[in-house]
């Protein structure tokens, strides 16, 4: 059983569409991070959220941390082919854990 469940696993959309990716858990996290990984590369950090209910925006990307700090979402507006990649969430469990747990990722393909 994955500590962090990401959905959907795969997403194939047309340029200009909106999408939302979810990261859910039964555990509480002190912080949660979103990464994007391109084929053959390491994950690149997009954002860190630490406060329940927090919303952060990065251009067309909007990240939200759930009020109870158990879940998070990533919303992309007007997706572009450059958004294609594997989106990973990773969380540090509350209680001082310094070992992050990663979800399996959502593979996004944006067609021109």
95 binds another protein (CB under 8 A): no
Question: Rounded to whole angstroms, what are the CA distances from 81 to 29, 58, 85, 108?
Answer: 32, 17, 9, 10
Segment lying near another protein (by CB under 8 A), choices 33-41, 54-62, 64-72, 75-83:
33-41
Among 1, 42, 59, 82, binds another protein (CB under 8 A): 42
Question: Rounded to whole angstroms, what are the CA distances from 58 to 2, 10, 96, 98, 101?
Answer: 27, 22, 27, 25, 23
Interface positions with another protein (CB under 8 A): 4, 6, 31, 33, 35, 40-45, 48, 88, 90, 92, 98-105
């Amino acid at each position: 059983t994955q500590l962090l469940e990401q959905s959907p696993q795969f997403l194939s959309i047309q340029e200009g569409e909106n999408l939302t990716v979810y990261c859910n858990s039964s555990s509480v996290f002190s912080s949660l991070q979103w990464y994007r990984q391109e084929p053959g590369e390491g994950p690149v950090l997009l954002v860190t959220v630490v406060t329940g209910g927090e919303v952060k925006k990065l251009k067309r990307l909007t990240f939200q941390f759930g009020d109870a700090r158990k879940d998070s979402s990533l919303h992309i507006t007007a997706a572009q082919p450059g958004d294609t990649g594997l989106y990973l969430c990773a969380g540090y469990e509350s209680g001082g854990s310094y070992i992050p747990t990663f979800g399996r990722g959502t593979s996004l393909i944006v067609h021109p």
